[in-house]
Amino acid sequence: MSEVRRSRTAPTRAGRSGAAGKTTRAPRQSHAQRPFKNWASAQLRTARYRTVNALRLAFFAIAGLGALAVLALTLTGGLGAAGQAASSAFASHLTRSGYVVRAVDVVGGHDVTAAEIAAVIGAEPGTGLIDIDPAQARAAIEAMTRVESAQVVRLWPDRISVIITERAPYALWQTGGVHYVIDRSGTVLDGESPGDYPGLPRVVGNGANGAAEEIITILARQPELASLVTHAVRVSERRWNLRLNSGSDILLPENDVASAVALIAALHADQRVLELDAQSFDLRGEGEMAVRAWPERAGGSATPERGA
């Protein structure tokens, strides 16, 4: 019996490249492609991270706004009886937790003390801070005769800050034979003694306090004329007379008071008209002045003098 031997024959180059023995290999990635792929993956991960975070922030923002809206409705009574009960419970919880008034800081006060303001707004030590409503406290403080304006802020956890502007003495007002100290708006300042302010301008008559700022401001522009005026008299609550230290009166018109005062000031500076021995200088006629002598000295006659 013949022996059959098998031998392995290495494939030839032609066989390797032939159709039957062809082998296909995947192309290798170049070094330039790998960094680009890594960068793209990193960008994708970053975009996913930012998207998730944005969604989380949006959720918490919406939830927070909703909670604030519910809290606002609760505190303002917008939820009815149930809201009032919840508001009271919330306020009691804050008070028990130590959010109470321990100090009232006042800025701008000279005659008004912090103790007076604390009493007016009901901010005794131990009062719940949430029980002090800033708007109501401001109204209560501005109702004080010595306070012109106020700002109130709650400073959590235990303080109230108050900034006030006090009413300052501005003029003396004489009515019914009694003198009062008034501020710029004409409000009487209780507790102030007129004798303590001899240098303040004086206004006389019904309604003179409310109109004092106008005439005082106008006279301040004419210092030489103002130095000759002892006081201003309100006539029929419509117009002013200026009483001079000589005893004469300047009769001012109801309208355009500033122009009339400027006219008499200019005439006096140029011609010293206010040194005339006259009972009055009447400026009620538009653009003119009439000088009236004392009746007992001129037989009741009047001498007119034209101005600009």
- Give phi and psi for 35, each to the nearest 5: -60, -35
CATH domain 98-166 topology: Ubiquitin-like (UB roll) (3.10.20)
Domains in the chain: boundaries: 46-97, 98-166, 171-305
pLDDT one digit per residue (tens) for the chain, 308 residues: 444 444 444 444 444 444 444 445 545 555 555 665 676 677 677 766 676 676 677 666 665 665 566 556 555 655 556 556 666 766 677 777 888 999 999 999 888 999 999 999 999 989 999 999 999 999 999 999 899 999 999 999 999 999 999 999 999 999 999 999 999 999 999 889 999 999 999 999 999 999 999 999 999 999 999 999 999 999 999 999 999 999 999 999 999 999 999 999 999 999 999 999 999 999 999 888 999 998 876 554 444 433 32
List beta partners, residue 153: 161
B/e letters for 294-303, b = 16+ CB within 10 Å, e = fewer, are eeeeeeeeee
pLDDT tens-digit series, residues 28-78 = 555 555 665 676 677 677 766 676 676 677 666 665 665 566 556 555 655
**Which amino acid does the sequence have at 190?**
D
- Model pLDDT for residues 97-123, shown as the tens digit of each residue: 888 999 999 999 888 999 999 999 999
Q: HSE of 20 in the Cβ direction (CA atoms, 13 Å)?
A: 4
Q: How far is CA 242 from CA 101, 186, 212, 225, 253, in A?
A: 53, 19, 12, 10, 11
C-alpha–C-alpha distance, residues 239 and 231, integer Å:
14
pTM: 0.63
Exposed e or buried b for every residue in 200-227, given b needs 16+ CB within 10 A? bbbbbbebbbbbbbebbebbeebeebbe
Which residue, among 284, 237, 291, 279, has the nearest Cα to 261 in the 3D structure? 284
* Run of H or E residues at 293: strand 289-293
Structure-token pair, residue 279: 């009972």
What is the token pair recorded at 122? 């009901």
CATH tag, 171-305: 3.40.50
Helices marked H in the chain: 13-17, 33-76, 80-96, 114-121, 134-142, 208-220, 223-226, 257-271, 295-298
